[in-house]
Amino acid sequence: MMRKILKNEWTVKIGSAVIALAAFCMLWQAVTVFTGMGDFLPGPAETFAEFFRRFVKPYGKAVLPMHMWSSLRRILIGYTVASAVAIVLGIVMGTYRIADAIVMPLFNIIRPIPPVAWIPLAILWFGIGDASKYFLVFLATFLSVLQNAYAGARSADPVLVGAARMLGANDGFIFRTITLPCAVPYIFSGLQNGLTAAWGQVVASEMIRSSAGVGWIIIRGMDNNDILQELVGILTIGIIGFILAASMRGVEAKLCRWTTRGK
Amino acid sequence: MEKNSDLKFKVISCCSVIGFIAVWYLCTDILQLTTDITLPGPVKVLHTFIDKFTNKSPDGGTLLQHMWSSLRVALSGYAMGIIIGVPLGILMAWYRPVDLLARPVFDFVKAIPGLAWAPLLIILLGIGFMSKAVTIFVAALTPCVLNAYAGVKQTREVHMWVARTFGATRRQMLFKVAIPTALPHIMTGIRVALGSAWMSIVAAELIASSSGLGYMIQQCRGIYRPDVIIVGMLMIGFIGSVLTWIIGIIERAVVKGQTHDA
Amino acid sequence: MQMDNTGKIEVMIQCSHVEKTFFTRMTSTPVIRDLDLKVRKNEFVVLFGPGQCGKTTVLNVMAGLETATSGTVTVNGKEVSTPGPDRGFVYQTTALFPWYTVMQNVEYGPRARGMSKKERREKAQYYIDLVGLQGFEDKFPNQLSGGMQQRVGIARAYCNEPSVLFMDEPFGHLDAQTRYLMQEEIIRIWEKEKRTVVFVTNNIEEAVYLADRVVVLTNCPTSVKKEYQIDLPRPRNYTDDRFLELRTEIQSIVDKTL
């Protein structure tokens, strides 16, 4: 019974999503065909066709998938390293007050500076190559994951810690079996925010200085006054961002079964 | 005893900041490990900071002029984002057909960083106030919509029933029950939108602009003036904190007695 | 009455002159004042008192979750200062670990003390069966009803084989029917696996139904007001004349609070 309702709910949701996107595209197409806007704004059909054409026809030196790969490589490397460092540091800060007291004030000075504001300095320090992009992605991810890992490590329910102690657990065992699982949902929300921030950061840093990547596509489109290229670029950015976010949710659902299962 | 240890950790925190500046000073001004075109010392940065209030070189504006320019654009776009985003989110949550049709489009749009719209908007609207303001608007819109939406969606059924028992019309239920319930979420959205608006203005100014803090630091990269860049970054961070602080005060005033986990 | 070989009464828990005061920056609130209490081995003692009288604090001090401001608590001859596996605790709200299954929750204590997987699984299975949860080993706590969650809590406390069990209003959040059922269950389990139990409740029927001895506490700051031996045979009946008589008598001496 429950499963049937759930299934129907999904059918409605997916169905309406398809209808909604189709309706959106039709509206867009209609606007370009029937109004003067068509003179400079390409329609969806043209945009999608161009999107696929660019899989073989290069933008600049590389075809579209290669640009995607440039951006993805930057995000994957910077994001992975930053997440690992931030999770460890955040948990250490949440567990040991001395680490908290040392790092927190410095972090509080850096935190309000939006990651994009580091772009000029990063270029000065690391040049215009990939090194500066890794640094920038690292920074964007680090800021948001650290805060959450820290909050997560401090979120351990004192009643549960007491219960574990009552059952004979020592500090190390409590850390592994209580503190870490309590922190996991927080860490995941940090990882998700971090991924969004990192994706924005990659696009921004490519827009400002680069020779490949999806951010480069849209900035080159701007220089050439090429709206079609803009639309293809935005579409690509949206698709990749969507896939990144969705895969993150998938991993979370797998790892945090106890919070979602049975609800 | 508790008080003493609090004090101890406060002292450690102060030492940490002082230590950081000392190491910075030591590496730059004393040991000369870096040059002025990579990392200037703290004294130089402080000097530039004071100087920049009156000195227009090297980027054609004083610190306050750039600040005002950035704030003007950011706040106009931000205000538009709130005025349109919050009602849109409420509508999406309240009317199911709007929800079913608008939500998928939004799920896709929110995957695009606000900044990515900037080049398209620059082509369409030219470099200037409008294209930047609209970029900020897009960046601020998404958090406003999504949080207002989530807020209205979580209205407790039982409150609705109470309202219905007292004979409330659907309109009254929206304004007297659903929206007040959603207020904490709406305020969260407004706060998150501020961060994303402030970030986007800096980014937009980095890409194409002729004034503003983002423009200032971008120009100074070209002429190797990291001291001005660092002053600009700290200023950007400082203004961001002040704005967040103001929103926090408004949030606490509006959301009396309602707690909510972000 | 439980005696050891020499014929002396074996005392399991002894509280002497226990005081507990909570300090905040400006105020100090005395919660326990000069509390003396002895609990015999394998006795089922119920602490009963009005509203917020500090019953839970008494239990926490005995368990070692909080330290007494002055006075001593000994369990099995050893002075209590920290939590430890020789004492078990069943919580008011189920303090189960939500990320562990029923089995993993129950075997937590033995696992913490380094017992091999095979051994602790066996032991946990025994107690899961004892509380009647066979078939639910792989469920997560949020998939269980309130009564079942409390059964897991009881099995978890038992599985560590402590000499003393503390129970802090474990049935407080259950509905009336489940509560009656759980009262029968806890007695059944206790009769099968005898332990010294200190049980806190604010429900007078529950107290009389469960206890060998009911200890009535005064209002805050709390100490022992009066004790009643409940000499009714088990299983008890809520409508038995002697039951009602005891109930009325205890009711009459309890401090009234809002």
For B110-120, write each residue's pLDDT tens digit. 888 888 888 88
The tally of domains found in chain B comes to 2
- Mutation site for A-interface testing, chosen from B2, B36, B107, B108 by largest number of A Cβ within 10 Å: B108
In tens, the pLDDT along C229-247 reads 888 888 888 888 889 998 8
pLDDT for A262: 38
pLDDT for B261: 43
pLDDT for A6: 58
pLDDT for B157: 73
Q: Which of B218, B62, B212 is nearest to B135 (CA)?
A: B212
Query: Average pLDDT, stretch C98-120?
Result: 91
Which structural domain range is residue B11 located in? Answer: 1-33
Q: How near does any CA of chain A get to the CA of C124, in Å?
A: 14
What does B224-250 look like in DSSP terms, one character per residue?
A: T-HHHHHHHHHHHHHHHHHHHHHHHHH
Percent of the residues in chain B that have a pLDDT greater than 70, as a whole number: 96
Mean pLDDT of chain C, nearest integer: 87
In tens, the pLDDT along B122-131 reads 888 888 888 9
- Mutation site for B-interface testing, chosen from A75, A136, A207 by largest number of B Cβ within 10 Å: A207
Same domain for B6 and B80? no
Contact A258 C140 (CB under 8 A): yes
Give contacts of B135 with chain A, Cβ < 8 Å.
Answer: none
Q: Which helix (H) or strand (E) holds A10?
A: helix A2-34
Same domain for B82 and B18? no
Q: What CATH number does residue B109 fall under?
A: 1.10.3720.10
User: How far apart are the C-alpha atoms of B152 and B189, rounded to whole Å?
Assistant: 12
Give contacts of C95 with chain A, Cβ < 8 Å.
Answer: 157, 159-160, 162-163
Contact C112 A159 (CB under 8 A): no
What is the DSSP secondary structure assignment for residue B167, as one 8-state letter? T
pLDDT for C55: 84
By C-alpha distance, the chain A residue nearest C108 is: A167
Same domain for B240 and B143? yes
Q: Are B202 and A116 in contact (CB under 8 A)?
A: yes
The tally of domains found in chain C comes to 1
Q: How near does any CA of chain A get to the CA of B170, in Å?
A: 24
Contact C83 A173 (CB under 8 A): no
Look at domain A45-260 and name its CATH class. mainly alpha
Percent of the residues in chain A that have a pLDDT greater than 90, as a whole number: 47
Q: For the whole model, what pTM was predicted?
A: 0.82
Instruction: Report whether pLDDT(A261) > 50.
Output: no
Instruction: Report whether pLDDT(C3) > 50.
Output: no
pLDDT band at B159 (very low <50, low <70, confident <90, very high): confident
Give contacts of C109 with chain A, Cβ < 8 Å.
Answer: 167-168
Q: Are A61 and A54 in contact (CB under 8 A)?
A: no
Same domain for B170 and B50? yes
pLDDT band at A218 (very low <50, low <70, confident <90, very high): very high
Q: How near does any CA of chain A get to the CA of B52, in Å?
A: 18
| Between A60 and C200, residue with greater pLDDT | C200
Same domain for B22 and B104? no
Mean pLDDT of chain B, nearest integer: 86
pLDDT for A93: 92
pLDDT for B236: 94
pLDDT for A92: 92
Asked whether residue B259 is domain-assigned, the answer is no
Same domain for B20 and B107? no
Other chains touching B, judged by 3 or more CB pairs under 8 Å: A
Q: Are C165 and C45 in contact (CB under 8 A)?
A: no
pLDDT for A259: 63
Same domain for B127 and B79? yes
Contact A124 B37 (CB under 8 A): yes
Instruction: Report whether pLDDT(C53) > 80.
Output: no
Same domain for B14 and B143? no
Give contacts of A178 with chain C, Cβ < 8 Å.
Answer: 97
Instruction: Report whether pLDDT(B39) > 90.
Output: no
pLDDT for B259: 53
Contact A167 C87 (CB under 8 A): no
Query: Average pLDDT, stretch A55-71?
Result: 89
Same domain for B114 and B165? yes
| Between B117 and B3, residue with greater pLDDT | B117
At residue A158, what is the residue type?
P
Same domain for B25 and B44? no
Q: Which of A211, A215, A260, A212 is nearest to A236 (CA)?
A: A215
DSSP SS3 for A111: coil
Asked whether residue B262 is domain-assigned, the answer is no
User: How far apart are the C-alpha atoms of C183 and A215, rounded to whole Å?
Assistant: 67
Contact A203 B116 (CB under 8 A): yes
Give contacts of A230 with chain B, Cβ < 8 Å.
Answer: 119-120, 123
Sign of the CA dihedral running B198, B202, B204, B205: positive
Q: Are A104 and A160 in contact (CB under 8 A)?
A: no
Q: Is A225 exposed, middle or buried (0-12, 13-18, 19+ CB in 10 A)?
A: exposed
By C-alpha distance, the chain B residue nearest A214 is: B116
Asked whether residue C129 is domain-assigned, the answer is no
Which structural domain range is residue C32 located in? Answer: 1-77+164-169+193-258
Q: How near does any CA of chain A get to the CA of C237, in Å?
A: 34
Percent of the residues in chain A that have a pLDDT greater than 70, as a whole number: 94
CA B217, B219, B224: angle at the middle one, nearest 5? 85
Crossing angle of helices A119-126 and B226-254, in 10° steps, is 150
Tell me which residue in C85, C97, C113 faces A160 most closely, judged by beta carbons: C97
A129's CB contacts (< 8 A; 6+ apart) are none
Contact A218 B221 (CB under 8 A): no
Same domain for B28 and B59? no
Is 0.90 exceeded by the ipTM? no
pLDDT for A2: 52
Asked whether residue B260 is domain-assigned, the answer is no
Same domain for B92 and B23? no
Asked whether residue B130 is domain-assigned, the answer is yes
| Chain mean position to CA C169 | 8
Q: Is B87 on the interface with A (CB under 8 A)?
A: no
Q: What CATH number does residue C69 fall under?
A: 3.40.50.300
